[in-house]
Chain A
Amino acid sequence: MTGWRHDSAGMVDRDRPLSFTFDGQPCTGFAGDTLASALLAGGPRILGRSFKYHRPRGLWGMGGEEPNAILDVTENGRTLPNVRATTMVLRDGMALRSVNAAPDAARDRLGLIDLAQRFLPAGFYYKTFMALGWMRWEPMIRRMAGLGVLDADHHPPADAPSMTAEIDLLVIGAGPAGLAAARAAARAGRAVWLVDEAAEPGGALRWRGGEIDGAPWQAFARDSCQAVTAAGGRVLTDTVLWGAFDHGMFAAWERRADRPDRHWRLRAREVILAAGAIERPLWFANNDLPGVMSSEAALHYLALYGAVAGRRIVIGCAGDAPYATAAALAAAGCQVTLVDARSETPPAPEGVTLRRAARITRAHGHREVGAVTVEGVHLDCDTVLVSGGFTPSVHLHCQAGGKLDFDPRTDALIPRPGSAPLLTVGAACGAFGLAAALAGGHVAGGGAGPAPAASGAVWGIAPSRPDPKARGRVWIDPQNDVTLKDVKLAAQEGYRSVEHLKRYTTLGMATDQGRSANFAGLAAMAALTGQTIPETGTTTYRPPFTPVPLSVIGGMRRGEGFAPPRRLRLEAQHRALGARFREYGGWLRPAHYGTDEAKAAQAEARTARQTAGLYDASPLGKIEVLGPGAAELLDFCGYVRMSTLKPGRARYGFMLSETGIVFDDGVVLRLAEDRFIVSASSGHVGSVRMILEEARQDRFDPARVVLHDVTAQWTTLTATGPASRALLGGAGIDLPDLPHMGVAETRWQGVPLRIARVSFTGDASWELSVPARHGAALQAALETARAGHGACWVGLEAVMILRAEKGFILVGKDTDGITMPQDLGWGGPRDRRQDEYFGRRSLFTPEAMRPDRRQLVGLETSGAPLPTGAHVLASDGPRRSAGFVTSSCHSPTLDRPVALAMIEGGRSRIGQEVTVFHLGTLSTARITDACALDPEGARLHG
């Protein structure tokens, strides 16, 4: 513990101490601390182990750019993995745990790996273990590397509201530039949204302080926020703008104390980006030792939290920014030596030793820094602060499609004006220093008159670069453990593009997105390959700017909230009958009635064959097709002609895709010359309607035919089985004299009733449809009559048995993405139709004509049912699959297994024995017709 707490600096509440633990050791902090400030002032210095080499690592930065201080945080029994210590507020009782360390950060056993570092260059694991069999070694490698541990029992609530807003002017960042822009625009009457990731507006003013227009900066910030609110705008703090997306959409994560976080989708007419800049490190040997940290961050912790990084401090820099840090630390009582690479510098702050034209070349220390070498001279210290310049936070500019230019004056890549639909101001475009930031913001906000005034020149900066000739291990990306040597290796092996450098070395690919590392990586690459920085370029910036919990992005769209199942109008009635529900094609439907699924399904299927079964068929899609052009439309869109269908009759048919593949099947009812109902599989209604709509609008006269999806308007209950006619009579339903595939519109108890004699079971069946609000009455009538006829309600599992016995297919289960109607034994229309229809030409391609296409057949076995998905082996040649089982079950009526399968040339092989392969075991089966029960269809006429 080298850091300490200043007795007056900062804004923590010293009357409210908070206890927490780090790797089990008790620590204390104060209300107002972040995890990082509390650990800096009163915790250990080693906060974790590095990703690859298990090097000890300590705090580096102050925000989302933090590469090292990544912790698992347990609070109220719930663990959040990989929390940046810099961005989470400390609360009493938190248990913090270092990541990637065993047993803990201080005593990590795998620290030995670092001794083998010379054998672990970039690409080592892939180069080595690919040859040895990656799959075998990967689990071990993954255990050794990686970050926090996911708490599998932690299911964060799906409670983050998704918000949207349309904004006139969005200002991203409430530092001096953002405040000035927002104030100017608000004063001109514009509604501005000012968004900042910190808890308070002010940006760097919060720790750097300063006077604006002759008053403390706080007055300026307050005034700006008031102007925003007064003009109808909004100030959102604790809100990270994490991504820029298509058509001007921005996503933001708003963190809220004691309430669910919120996720925002913002669209603005105009956007001003004032995201500031992030300090770069310096590149000397062992620059990753705990105790080496960002100079700006040290000032931040001192000014906001009274947390002081150390007592004997060396600051390395080549710019003016750290002079304020040096002055503040000296005033706090630290012994400070400022090592500036420039020969011309500002004067030394009071109490600070300044060494000009000097560089730190090496840090010394085993577990933390204890000394540095400055121009060959050994200098004892306990803390090293570094400032290698600043990298403007241009992420959102680049995500929005913007380009960058290299600005030698600030030694930084800054947004090219006009290259993205947003305006970048302040440090984010290289305007370092208070006066420059205020001026830029004021102009961008359309400010009239002079900009807010502040003293202080633009910061002087001399370029700092990794020295390719530097000795020792110099870290470029501490979070992913990428060293200068790795970059050199990449250059030696011929990598030139930074995108390749990134993927080869993993530079910048960690959760900090390499925010403090990327510039050094590309600068080193440029130096090693003899290119300029613009020639070397940058990697692509992608969202998120900062890691965002998926629970926030997902919001309430999880579980049932993600894809809400459609529910039956009669769900309560089915539940009262003991139904167990399951999702089928997006609908929650009774799977079976009673507890034991296998037994119930068998018993229900048996009863339905012996007497009668009742089931709820309401989810079956019903699309009404109306108008004089209806028949013509259906002829084109369907595989089976419907214009020849007589009113009052129904016909089974298919809908194909234009590639000839079976898209859906179902029965079409013709109620009148100009009125049809197309049934669609419950999961396909929407897409079937779209196929019909496209043809209607793009091929036919849309005034002559209209479509109407009436699925939800009807409740359909089906009675099937030899006793079904009697049962319906008992329920008071007057059955007209209907042949199989006959349809009638009648009335029952004064209510419209449509009766269709169509069958999905092979038994005489009656499909009864009433307006949905009368479904309960129909159900009650059927239920009253049911027991007297020995009938039962059947769930979908029993219906699946009944249809499998008959060889009736389920599109998508018994068919796949290459099944054509002729493969199902429906070659008739293909051979006979002379008119044009959807998918027609595809049925005559060489592929469609192959004699060895997979065809629908049945499989007969003894013993247990075949597993669905089992392969049928080719009868000759090397072992290969000639097809597979698509449906399989035990038939209670036949008292033997039945199965459907798609087998190459199967219909010409009926009667043959085949070998079935499943998970290494072989069995035999006999190919049969798909229909195993009542092939003559006698039962249909009940």
Chain B
Amino acid sequence: MQRFSCPFCGLRDETEFHFAAEAGKHRPEPAPEVSDADWADYLFGNDAPRGPAREVWVHLTCGEFFVMTRDTVTREVLGSAALPGRSQ
């Protein structure tokens, strides 16, 4: 059982969280100007880095989305922070 830190609630069991997206992924739009390939890449292409990764997760208990940095090999959580522009 991993434990993640919600920037608003603190350390909680992983079952309270849900992965949302890789952080920094840009949604291409408006739709008519986006190629099929770019859209497919946005939907399904992930960096899935080995090692430190920046990801958006949601703490289901409080409903807040936040950025978590964690090591995908050691599973160490390296930090978590509110979304840019959001105060904690």
Interface residues of A (CB under 8 A from B): 245-247, 249, 265, 401, 658-659, 686, 689-690, 693-694, 697-698, 702, 707, 836, 840-842, 844-846
Contact B83 A247 (CB under 8 A): no
Main secondary structure of the interface of A (DSSP, over half): helix
Measured between alpha carbons, how far is A841 from B40 in the docked complex, in Å? 10
Contact A845 B39 (CB under 8 A): yes
Contact of A836 among B31, B39, B74 (CB under 8 A): B31
Interface residues of B (CB under 8 A from A): 1-3, 14, 18, 20, 28-32, 34, 36, 39-40, 43, 56, 58, 60, 63-65, 74-75, 83, 86
Contact of A840 among B31, B36, B40 (CB under 8 A): B31
Contact B75 A702 (CB under 8 A): no
A247-B3, A265-B1, A702-B86 known; A694 and B39 CB under 8 Å?
Answer: no
Contact of B58 among A246, A658, A690, A844 (CB under 8 A): A690
Cβ–Cβ < 8 Å partners of B43 in chain A: 658-659, 842
A842-B39, A842-B43 known; A693 and B63 CB under 8 Å?
Answer: yes
Measured between alpha carbons, how far is A815 from B78 in the docked complex, in Å? 41
Measured between alpha carbons, how far is A401 from B73 in the docked complex, in Å? 11
Contact of B65 among A245, A693, A845, A846 (CB under 8 A): A693
In the complex, how many angstroms separate the beta carbon of B75 from the nearest chain A beta carbon? 5
Measured between alpha carbons, how far is A693 from B31 in the docked complex, in Å? 22
Contact B29 A245 (CB under 8 A): no
Name the residue on B nearest A251 (C-beta).
B1
Q: Which 4 A-B pairs have the closest CB atoms?
A: A841-B31, A246-B2, A840-B31, A841-B39
Contact of A697 among B2, B14, B40, B65 (CB under 8 A): B65
Cβ–Cβ < 8 Å partners of A702 in chain B: 86
Cβ–Cβ < 8 Å partners of B1 in chain A: 245-247, 249, 265
Given contact pairs A247-B1, A265-B1, A841-B31, enumerate 9 new A-B contacts (beta carbons under 8 Å).
Answer: A245-B1, A690-B18, A690-B60, A690-B63, A697-B65, A707-B63, A841-B34, A842-B39, A842-B43
In the complex, how many angstroms separate the beta carbon of B42 from the nearest chain A beta carbon? 8
Measured between alpha carbons, how far is A650 from B18 in the docked complex, in Å? 32
Contact A698 B65 (CB under 8 A): yes
Contact A697 B39 (CB under 8 A): no
Name 17 interchain pairs, CB-CB below 8 A, sorted by A.
Answer: A245-B1, A247-B1, A247-B2, A247-B3, A401-B74, A659-B43, A690-B63, A693-B65, A694-B65, A697-B83, A697-B86, A698-B56, A698-B83, A702-B86, A836-B29, A841-B39, A844-B31
Name the residue on B nearest A835 (C-beta).
B30
In the complex, how many angstroms separate the beta carbon of A923 from the nearest chain B beta carbon? 40
Cβ–Cβ < 8 Å partners of B75 in chain A: 246-247
In the complex, how many angstroms separate the beta carbon of A308 from the nearest chain B beta carbon? 46
Measured between alpha carbons, how far is A836 from B1 in the docked complex, in Å? 39
Measured between alpha carbons, how far is A702 from B29 in the docked complex, in Å? 21
Name the residue on A nearest B58 (C-beta).
A690
Cβ–Cβ < 8 Å partners of B60 in chain A: 686, 690
In the complex, how many angstroms separate the beta carbon of B4 from the nearest chain A beta carbon? 9
Measured between alpha carbons, how far is A697 from B58 in the docked complex, in Å? 11
Measured between alpha carbons, how far is A334 from B28 in the docked complex, in Å? 84
Measured between alpha carbons, how far is A842 from B43 in the docked complex, in Å? 9
Contact B2 A836 (CB under 8 A): no
Measured between alpha carbons, how far is A845 from B86 in the docked complex, in Å? 35
Cβ–Cβ < 8 Å partners of A836 in chain B: 29-31
Name the residue on A nearest B82 (C-beta).
A697
Considering residues B1, B3, B36, which has the most beta carbons from chain A within 10 angstroms of its beta carbon? B1
Contact B29 A694 (CB under 8 A): no
In the complex, how many angstroms separate the beta carbon of A684 from the nearest chain B beta carbon? 15
Cβ–Cβ < 8 Å partners of A689 in chain B: 63
Measured between alpha carbons, how far is A265 from B13 in the docked complex, in Å? 12
In the complex, how many angstroms separate the beta carbon of A791 from the nearest chain B beta carbon? 41
Cβ–Cβ < 8 Å partners of B63 in chain A: 689-690, 693, 707
